[in-house]
């Protein structure tokens, strides 16, 4: 499983909140095992939209979709508790 390179706005978000190292670690774990327990990977509601998330830490999550070629596209990075 491979995660596509992040868009520039998402890279800026990681930088602004000091999440670069946490993202790199979560990305490595996800690419090895998308359901590694600490990632807490889940399908979000409404389920028919097929948007998933995995945890960067207790506060931040990466929202993603599966692309037809089998890669992953991160579509947003969010503060889980806002």
Q: What domains, with CATH codes, occur in the chain?
A: 8-79 (3.30.2310.20)
pLDDT digits (tens, 9 = 90+) for 10-34: 999 999 999 999 999 999 999 999 9
Token pair 């998308």: residue: 34
Q: Which residues contact 26 (CB under 8 A, 6 or more apart)?
A: 39, 54, 55, 56, 62
Tens of pLDDT along 43-73?
999 999 999 999 999 999 999 999 999 999 9
pLDDT at residue 1 greater than cutoff 90 = no
Confidence of residue 9 (pLDDT cuts 50, 70, 90): very high
Query: Cα separation of 55 and 63, whole Å?
Result: 9
């Amino acid at each position: 499983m491979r995660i596509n390179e992040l868009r520039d706005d998402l890279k800026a978000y990681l930088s602004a909140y000091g999440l670069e190292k946490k993202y790199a670690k979560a990305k490595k774990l996800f690419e090895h095992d998308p359901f590694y327990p600490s990632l807490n990977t889940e399908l979000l509601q409404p389920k028919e939209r097929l948007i998933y998330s995995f945890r960067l830490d207790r506060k931040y999550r990466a929202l993603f979709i599966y692309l037809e070629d089998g890669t992953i596209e991160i579509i947003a990075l969010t503060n889980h508790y806002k």
